[in-house]
Amino acid sequence: MEVTLSVPFGYEANSGTEKLLRDFRDMINFCIEYALKNNITSYARLRKSVYQEWKLRWDYSTHFCHSACLVATSMLKGWRRLKRKGVAKGEKPIARKLFICFDPQLVKFEGHRLRISVKSRKFLYIKLKFGDYQKKFIEGWKNGELKVGEVFMNGTRVLIPFRKDVDLSNPSDWIAIDVNESNVTAVSTNPHAIQFKTNLREIRSTYFEKRRRIQRLGKNNPFTSKRLMEKYSRREKNRVKDLCHKLSKSMVDFAKQHGFGIVLEDLKNMRRRINYSKRMNRRLHSLPYRKIQFYIEYKANLSGLPVEYVDAKFSSSLCPICGGRLASNGHRILKCKACGFEEDRDVIACLNLLKRNPRCGGPRCPRKPPMKL
Ligand SMILES: [Zn+2]
């Protein structure tokens, strides 16, 4: 299986990059007009028939024509769909933003810079800016583990997709990870549980209070209020994102160390399923469950660990050992009426996820209560 991760880099813009971006935007708009005028909808036909006229206007590698045609056809496709619904704006779609999707033939990634073939034997070098995060990928590319895919560039950034071939083989043991409001719990088929305590809730409620105060300020001082609001929203977003990265990293590192496959709860129906008040609504929707899962999944896949999603219905109300109903037995502890099994509710949720994993379920589910690490 191949896993791709797009990594953003800053770059040193100059007159050369600016001209390239503007020219590419003009090419897209030119291709759009040409396609509309000649009633062309397919990429292959557009590419073939526009080429002569394109060549008269621009002195660039042919691959730029291909890329511009590709963008133009996809923009036209989206615009036609809107037009059918009667909500398209204007007579034709227009490319306004500055960006380029480079044909792989045009770009050579050289670690610290990109080499763009503007035309034959004429190159434009783009110096990349990066930190420790990007360095890891450059290292991986240098020692041949990672390949570079189709590069995307806009006025401020370059997105470089790194591809890796991974062997998502069948692990003998699995770990289920349950994310809830206050902590992240992980239980593996080898009997032990680990709990990662998080302060997600704390961050959210702190910033919620802050926002509320700023809103009150807004009545007298709307300008300052708006500025403060933006500042705190950004800060909150960054702190939560950072936390999600750290959490998912420590979990995936743990799984990798032991060679565990990862089981996650399928969140598709979760929000609909829970009957919640307005206050609960804010708390639930502000929790980045999906974000944590997404980070876990890609970090796991990059490490060659498989990820399975399973239905989490009743995962905290049925006994993972005998399937009987569970009753509350003190704070966060659940007890089975039928077999007497007793555990922390988060651990129980994980045990149920493990049991439902089609690739390890049933007999591999631990029979004994997990030990705490
Ligand atoms: Zn039971």
Quote the CA–CA distance of 322 and 18 in Å, as a whole number: 66
CB-based neighbours (< 5 A) of ligand 1, an ion: 319, 321-322, 324, 336, 338-339, 341
CA 347 to ligand 1 centroid distance, Å? 14
CA 275 to ligand 1 centroid distance, Å? 26
Q: SS3 for 265?
A: strand
CA 301 to ligand 1 centroid distance, Å? 34
Quote the CA–CA distance of 77 and 93 in Å, as a whole number: 10
Q: SS3 for 105?
A: coil
Quote the CA–CA distance of 50 and 52 in Å, as a whole number: 6
361 pLDDT band, cuts 50/70/90, is low
Is the pLDDT reported for residue 228 higher than 70? yes
Phi-psi region of 195 (alpha: psi -120 to 50; beta: other; left: phi over 0): beta
Quote the CA–CA distance of 187 and 320 in Å, as a whole number: 13
Quote the CA–CA distance of 160 and 151 in Å, as a whole number: 5
371 pLDDT band, cuts 50/70/90, is low
Question: How far, in whole angstroms, is CA 23 from its chain's centroid?
Answer: 31
Q: Which CATH number fits domain 173-372: 3.40.50, 1.10.3210, 3.30.420, 1.10.3470?
A: 3.30.420
CA 60 to ligand 1 centroid distance, Å? 71
Chain segment 153-188, per-residue pLDDT in tens = 999 999 999 988 877 777 878 899 988 777 788 888
CA 212 to ligand 1 centroid distance, Å? 46
CA 352 to ligand 1 centroid distance, Å? 12
123 pLDDT band, cuts 50/70/90, is very high
Burial grade of 131 (CB within 10 A; 0-12, 13-18, 19 or more) = exposed
CA 116 to ligand 1 centroid distance, Å? 64
CA 146 to ligand 1 centroid distance, Å? 47
Is the pLDDT reported for residue 281 higher than 50? yes
Q: SS3 for 51?
A: helix
Burial grade of 192 (CB within 10 A; 0-12, 13-18, 19 or more) = middle
Residue 42 pLDDT: 95
Q: In this prediction, what percent of the chain has a pLDDT beyond 70?
A: 89
Quote the CA–CA distance of 352 and 364 in Å, as a whole number: 12
Strands (E), the chain: 2-11, 99-101, 107-109, 113-119, 122-129, 147-148, 152-154, 157-165, 173-179, 183-188, 192-197, 260-265, 307-310, 326-328, 333-336, 342-344, 371-372
CA 342 to ligand 1 centroid distance, Å? 8
Q: Are strands 192-197 and 260-265 parallel, antiparallel or unpaired?
A: unpaired
Residue 287 pLDDT: 63
| Sequence ranges of the chain with CATH classification 3.30.420 | 173-372
Q: Which residue has the tokens 């899962």?
A: 293
Give the number of other Cβ atoms within 10 Å of residue 314's Cβ. Answer: 12
Give the number of other Cβ atoms within 10 Å of residue 265's Cβ. Answer: 24
Give me the mean pLDDT over the 116-140 stretch. Answer: 92
Contact yes or no for 31/37 (Cβ under 8 A) = no
Q: Are strands 307-310 and 260-265 parallel, antiparallel or unpaired?
A: parallel
CA 258 to ligand 1 centroid distance, Å? 28
Give me the mean pLDDT over the 83-96 stretch. Answer: 89
Q: What is the pTM of this model?
A: 0.63
Chain segment 309-360, per-residue pLDDT in tens = 988 888 888 898 888 899 988 888 899 988 888 888 888 888 888 888 887 7
DSSP track, 333-362: EEEETTT--EEEHHHHHHHHHHHH-TTTTG
Residue 373 pLDDT: 45
